Structure 1
């Protein structure tokens, strides 16, 4: 499922955004656009997320497009057309932000308590290095693993779908399986650090 559908529901499919017309023009002519995810600190908070699309190797040379606000429909289009970020570090930031959007939608629909409980179980199952720091921060210190039954709930299914589809999207962008997992792990860690202030 795409970001827009994950966030707004399965009936949220929208037509290609207007910005995509230019991007598609270059794709049809053999150029491989890349995107740069931009999000800057503004004091103690993060500013709005933006995307800049550029066309390395285009002949004749073309300047990058102006920055556009990050939007799930734009992100879906970029992923569907195989537009990767400029480098792996930028891909980590881009996917961390997309995870935030997807997880925030699940948390709003299902409630924070259930979302966090299931997220802890998913992190435990993935052997995520931030599982223990998060568990300690949330005050859930215990000597046993989180309840395995939470992974078999509707929330668990949604989280597993997001986790799996994110890794698959990275592979579709052309990253080898091992690099896809590394990028995804970095994105997940970025989300957790920001969301839970780890």
Structure 2
């Protein structure tokens, strides 16, 4: 009667604890896959988004859009600079900023001597900046999404891949933005008409690109 009954086994809680210990201890610590840090993901995306928003806001700011013009004349002369104004007989060119084009000159060109005019926006660098930001943002999102599906083994490895991805995307976006800005050039040639109509037609086509016209539109916006 005083004999003890044998213990039948561990309880369910003890069995569960033992299985958890065996499972957690079966994978070496250096081989465990970790999720990317949530704080790093959010801060990276927020930073790129703010840069993109600031760049777009800058592009839509109240600055006057200046256009660089290169004029090829019928007598072989060439002149370039900022297209300041145009009247019934001539166009006025101000000095172009350094590095905008190969030549830096200015002057007054009679419309009758114009053979070809090449126009481009002076603020094309905005497209390059916006392209870099958009490219970096998109590539960063791709890396983050990929990391959630296939986690990296360490936060350091994740950070390296994220930085490399953003850098590569930014470089590609900058090149594309630069290409887009370069393709925005306009070439204007006089129409083959009598001299009076030719000058008037050329004046009307150039007027919207002059600095004076842009300044007037900024000061007196259309309803």
Please give the range of the TM-score, normalised by the shorter of the 2 chains.
under 0.3
Q: Which has the higher strand share?
A: 2
Q: What TM-score, normalized by structure 1, do the two folds share?
A: 0.22
TM, length-normalised to structure 2: 0.21
Q: RCO (CA 8 Å, sep 6+): is it higher in 1 or 2? A: 2
Higher radius of gyration, 1 or 2: 2
